[in-house]
Amino acid sequence: MKIFLLAACILMLLASCGQEKRQDDSDLKTFTDDFGHTVALGDRPARIVSLAPSITETLFALGLDSSIAGVTDYCDFPEAARSKPRVGGMLNPNIERIVELKPDLVLMSASGNMQTDYQKLTSLHTSVFVSNPRTIDGVLKSIVDIGELTQRKAAAESLAAKLRRRRSEIIEQLRTRPVRKVLLLLSLNPIIAAGEGTFLDELITTAYGENIARGSRTAYPVLSREEIFRRQPDVILATNDIVKSADAIVSAYPEWKSLPAIHHGRIAVVDASILSRPGPRVLDGLGAIAAAIHSKR
């Protein structure tokens, strides 16, 4: 009889645990990232590791700075991001360090992070969500996705709406401006430009520019000096991580002095972080490109 009662108690305990487990599962909400992966979350993530500067900027913009448990070595905006625990680079994050931080959620970017790191983290039963914004609308979606993941949906939708309005205002201001041919340099030697279908190409086109690297076979084509001379850009843009001044471009390629861009003084060096990070400052990047394209000099 005692053995029977003991067995009955064990069965009741297991049934109770199973019921509790099912109840816990029913409280989870499932989210699907930009690659079709699903992640299930219960309460709002209290500890978040960001593996991309654009994601870190989004978290701060949504007022989630107290939930950020770790960031990459490249997360430097806003200033407060610099004081967050570091987990290494985007291409080589320290997986052990990430696990040590006990994150409820890891946020990754397809454009800067490796699939192998995603696989390592998920194999360790870490909740991971991958964002892959390739357009301005994609950036806005990413912001809203992160808002939903962190139960800050209202703040995310408000921020996305604000950015949409600003985009409309910039476009409206440019409607009467002439379309100018633009070369956006990402490397000076070799000469690498932003090509068709890239996020930067969309910024140029939205700002009433014609990207002279359109039609290239790759997203980031290597162009010859002669090819650029033949295409006669009206505007030359470069990021400040490859050159510090417009003079550096002229010095590197003195034969370009007769190009319309140089003749009319339409050479601009733009902050790389606002062009390369598909996050809340995306419209700052659009504004900077628009100002460079349509300035008198």
Domain end position, chosen among 137, 162, 187 = 162
The model's pTM is: 0.87
The answer to whether residues 197 and 216 touch, using CB atoms and an 8 Å cutoff, is no
158 with 66, same domain: the answer is yes
d(CA 111, CA 271) in angstroms, rounded, equals: 19
pLDDT class of 215 with cuts at 50, 70, 90: confident
Same domain, 110 and 51: yes
Answer yes or no: do 181 and 153 share one domain: no
Instruction: Kindly state whether residues 144 and 193 are assigned to the same domain.
Output: no
Q: Is residue 206 part of a domain?
A: yes
- Does 4 have pLDDT greater than 90? no
Interior angle at CA 31, CA 27 and CA 33, nearest 5: 160
- pLDDT above 90: percentage of residues in the chain: 78
Residue 109 sits in the same domain as residue 49: yes
More confident residue, 196 or 296: 196
Spatial distance between the Cα atoms of 213 and 231, rounded to a whole number of angstroms: 9
Tell me, yes or no, whether 112 lies in a domain: yes
Query: Number of folded domains in the chain?
Result: 2
- What's 244's domain CATH number? 3.40.50.1980
Which tens digit of pLDDT belongs to each residue from 103-155? 999 999 988 889 999 999 999 999 999 999 989 999 999 999 999 999 999 99
- Residue 9 in domain: no
* 18, part of any domain: no
C-alpha closest to that of 208 among 234, 228, 185: 234
Same domain? For 126 and 209 the reply is no
Among 109, 128, 162, the domain boundary falls at 162
Task: Give residue-wise pLDDT tens across range 27-37.
Answer: 789 999 999 99
The reply to whether 157 and 184 lie within a common domain is no
Q: Residue range 249-264: average pLDDT? A: 91
| Residues 131, 108: Cα–Cα separation, whole Å | 6
Rounded to an integer, the average pLDDT of 58-82 is: 97
Q: Averaged over 64-83, what is the pLDDT?
A: 97
Phi/psi of residue 277, nearest 5 degrees: -110, 110
Rounded average pLDDT over 13-24:
40
Q: Is residue 21 part of a domain?
A: no
How many Å is the maximal CA-CA distance in the chain? 102
Q: Are residues 67 and 154 in the same domain?
A: yes
**Residue 297: its pLDDT value, please?**
65
Nearest to 44 by CA among 146, 143, 151: 151
Residue 284 within a domain: yes
Residue 71 lies in a domain: yes
Contacts of 50 (CB under 8 A, 6+ apart): 56, 59, 68, 70, 71, 72, 75, 107
What rounded mean pLDDT belongs to the chain? 89
In the predicted structure, residue 3 carries a pLDDT above the cut 80: no
Residue range 273-283, pLDDT digits in tens:
999 899 999 99
Domain extent, residue 85, equals 28-162
**Residue 15 forms part of a structural domain:** no
State which of 134, 162, 190 marks the end of a domain.
162
What per-residue confidence (pLDDT) applies to 20?
Answer: 39
Judgement on whether residues 155 and 230 belong to the same structural domain of the protein: no
Q: What is the mean pLDDT of residues 66-71?
A: 98
| Pair 121, 87 in one domain | yes
Q: How much is the pLDDT for 24?
A: 53
pLDDT reported for residue 11: 34
% of residues, the chain, pLDDT over 70: 91
Euclidean distance between CA atoms 38 and 30, whole angstroms = 6
C-alpha dihedral sign at 255, 286, 269, 201: negative
Same domain, 146 and 186: no
Give the alpha-carbon dihedral of 201, 164, 275, 35, to 10 degrees: -80
pLDDT at 8: 37
Give yes or no: residues 213 and 268 share one domain.
Answer: yes
